[in-house]
Amino acid sequence: MIAAWMAAALLGLPSLLRVTDVLKVGGFTHEGLEAAQVRTTLERELNFPPVAVVVNFHSDTLTADDPEFNRQVRQALAEIEQMPQVTGITYHTYVPAQVSRDRHTAFEVIGLKVDPEQSQHLMPEIRRRLKPTSLEMRIGGGPAFYADIERTSQSDLRRAEIIAFPVALLVLVLVFGSVVSAAVPIAVGGFSIVIVFALLVVVGSITDLSIFAMNVATMLGLGLAVDYSLFLTSRFREELRRRSVGDAVAATVGRAGRAVFFSGLTVLIGLGGLVTFEFMFLRSIGIVGAIVVFVSLLAALTLLPAILGIVGHRINRFRPPAVFASGTSFWAPLARWVMDRPGQVLIPTLLLLLLFGLPFLNVRLSSPDPSILPPGLESRVAFDQLKNEFSPGSLAPILVTVRTQRSITEPANLEVLYALSQQLQREPGVVRVDSIVDIDPRITLEQYKLLYRNRDDVPDLYAQAVLKATTSEHLALLQVSTEYIWNDPRSAAVVERLRATDLPGDLRLQVGGGTAEVMDIVGDMYGQFPRALALIILATYLALLAMLGSVLLPLKAILMNILSILASYGALVWVFQEGHLDWLFRFQPLGFVDTSLPVLMFCILFGLSMDYEVFLLARIKEEWERTGDNTQSVAAGLERSGKIITSAALLVVVVGLAFVTAEIILVKAIGLGVALAVLLDATLVRALLVPATMRLLGEWNWWAPSFVRRRLAEVRLGE
């Protein structure tokens, strides 16, 4: 068995160098959203580029109107314009909105005809062709953002691994009091991660996987593999005191292995909820999570028993000179103390968890932008420069498409477009509307009708250019610039009113752009979330029912889980949205929480938190079946599993905190959320809430209808 795992790991080692080649950036939207449909329409009918690079030019002395400024801009971009992937460059000389308020900065938009998810690979060539001038230059836009995301994700992962492995080993040595015992879980975790990465390369060549899946795979892979190995190794040492090596391995897998299996099943169910989403980012983490759980379980139930069988009594070798006391006497008195006063413990603990979750009531959700990157990266610097020096709304205007079955320039359609434009200009916060009926405010509707009477022979050259750029035979585009950044609620209010507008006849209106995309992502993601939530809760309930044979305990476990997750949600808002402790975690507050983060955190944390509930309840059930005494069972179960659950939780907290060192705020938030939720779960929930609620429920903890008991006996999910 060990030889088979070693061979698999050796075959998988080359994948560590190739895994980033098959992973993709983005994945935070999908083509079913209205804003995404608008984007596709503009690409197909108006030749909008799928993705664009933005180059900022700045001079302290020259203004964007100066001929020398313009000459240097053209000189810098001359070779880029010749690239076969470039559809064209939109210069600031044609678009006034591309010039800053002080007129010392301008940005040029380089359109690219490549897949947005692969556009970052063109960045080295673009940088090589960009000629130096006396102007200060910054490169931003989607491809630069994606390139920085990919590069930073890899460095974040390496840093987290360098921190997590040695610290995890140290924690295990302190927990077990033996170097050999500590090395076994780390070895199993290392094997698991190599196999997981090899499978990522295979799966990534079949379906799209997010670049962030790599970080999540390492976090979960190391955490789960070490967790399961820790639980089994601890039980093996316990069994070894009264059995032979072979019997101790068999008893360990028969008893603790069953708990590990059901624990893995609950984690798999939680992550499986992500697969139901249409967003590639969430779906791919669900797929990767399933791979991680499968490999971790396989390693814990096959590789680890083989290692334990060979190591045998040498498992306790090489004790350090001084370690923490390994006694477990603290847990039984704690459980009895809690069960002597269940109400007095339950109510304050519940209130404390709810207090932690209160900030989540003020959550603002938005999609990621370059502000999730560290301030020093060029794409982030370029983004901040645009945000600070230009009208916020001009960076991501609201895009309105109007479609008809007839010619868009017919007089009746021009009347509708003109009325719509006038309505938009009266909207609070709207700065400007650009369309074929907004060429010059002095031109009347009747004059526009005359101007576009013959679409193929428009007399004015500027009107001709606008007509070509913003319309097709049956489609017109209106670009609406506001005073607000795209994730501002006031900009969202403009989009809502636009979408509620009814146009006469066969005219159909759709709204896209940055604001609309954020709204669509939030609406669609949280429209799908209840379905995933119901699936996760139902499947987890059935799995725990099968394991415990109780109707009420699975329900209680689910409610306890939700409490700890809500507490971590509140912390995410308090830290990353409101900016508390930014000095400690080294980031600039976003002012919002990434839309996908609560969904992602729920699915990851629901499984991880249930991990410890399963470990604890499995041991309590074992005692209940032996003694039939509820109070004694809870005390003994907590005594025998309390230390190991706390140690396992500590390892996951260590791994999570290792990812808090990440430069990308999204990864940092996942790491902190996981660490905090698991910490709360292993302390307040497991040590206080579980004994208190089980004492209050008494014999009802183990109640189930007779037909359920009969059915479970037929299935025979025993040791």
pLDDT in tens, 546-574: 888 889 989 988 998 888 899 999 998 99
**What pLDDT does 715 receive?**
60
At 578-608, the pLDDT tens digits run: 989 888 888 888 888 888 889 988 888 887 7
- What's the pTM? 0.83
- 246 with 309: CB under 8 angstroms? yes
Tokens found for residue 501: 């507008």
Mean pLDDT of 433-462: 90
Residue type, 234: S
Q: Reply yes or no on whether the pLDDT at 323 is more than 70.
A: no
Contacts of 700 (CB under 8 A, 6+ apart): 552
Q: Which amino acid is residue 707, in one-letter code?
A: F
Residue 76 has pLDDT above 60, yes or no: yes
Q: 3-class SS at 496?
A: helix
pLDDT at 321 over 70: no
Task: Characterize the bridge pairing of strands 105-112 and 209-210.
Answer: unpaired
Region 467-489: mean pLDDT is 90
Does position 392 have pLDDT exceeding 80, yes or no? no
| Torsion, Cα of 121, 487, 601, 528 (10° steps) | -100
Between the alpha carbon of residue 1 and those of residues 46, 304, 313, the distances in Å are 60, 10, 20
Residue type, 521: I
Measure the CA–CA gap between 14 and 187, rounded to whole angstroms.
19
pLDDT in tens, 658-696: 989 988 888 898 889 888 888 888 888 888 888 899 888
Average pLDDT over residues 353-368: 89
Question: What local confidence, expressed as pLDDT, does residue 339 receive?
Answer: 85
Residue 169 above 50 pLDDT?
yes
Strand-pair category, 398-403 with 508-512: antiparallel
Helix (H, G, I), strand (E, B) or coil at 441: coil
Give the pLDDT confidence score for residue 325 in this predicted structure.
Answer: 40
The reported pLDDT for the residue numbered 465 is 86
CA distance linking residue 233 with residue 287, whole number of Å: 28
Confidence of residue 26 (pLDDT cuts 50, 70, 90): confident
Model pLDDT, residue 376: 83
Spatial separation of the C-alpha atoms in residues 666 and 27, rounded to whole Å: 14
* pLDDT given for residue 716 in this prediction: 54
Q: Which pairs with CB-CB distance under 8 Å and at least 24 residues apart come from 341-346? A: 342/691, 342/692, 342/693, 342/695, 342/696, 343/692, 343/696, 345/688, 345/689, 345/691, 345/692, 346/688, 346/689, 346/692, 346/693, 346/696
Residue 456 confidence (pLDDT) above 70: yes
Task: Evaluate if residue 173 carries a pLDDT over 80.
Answer: yes
Q: Which residue, among 521, 617, 614, 610, has the nearest Cα to 565 in the 3D structure?
A: 610
Mean per-residue pLDDT for 203-225? 85
Distances (CA, A) of 198 to 193, 254, 306, 340, 655: 9, 30, 22, 52, 21
pLDDT at residue 390, rounded to an integer:
84
The predicted structure's pLDDT at residue 714: 64
The token pair at 314 is 């040498």
| Structural domains of the chain ordered from first start | 1-34+177-326 (1.20.1640.10), 51-145 (3.30.70), 328-384+528-719 (1.20.1640.10), 397-512 (3.30.70)
Do residues 223 and 655 make contact, with C-beta atoms less than 8 angstroms apart? Answer: yes
What's the pLDDT tens digit per position in 630-646? Answer: 888 888 888 877 777 88
Neighbouring-strand partners of residue 357:
none
**pLDDT (0 to 100) of residue 328:** 45
State yes or no: pLDDT of 223 exceeds 90. Answer: no
Q: What percent of the chain has pLDDT over 90?
A: 38
Q: For residue 295, which phi and psi values (nearest 5 degrees)? A: -65, -40
Distance CA 719, CA 702 (A): 19
Pairwise CA distance, residues 214 & 154, whole Å:
9
Whether the per-residue pLDDT at 327 is higher than 90: the answer is: no
> What mean pLDDT is reported for the chain?
87
Q: How many CB atoms lie within 10 A of CB 658?
A: 24
Of 481, 486, 558, residue with least CA distance to 522: 486
How far apart CA 344 and CA 691 sit, in angstroms, is 12
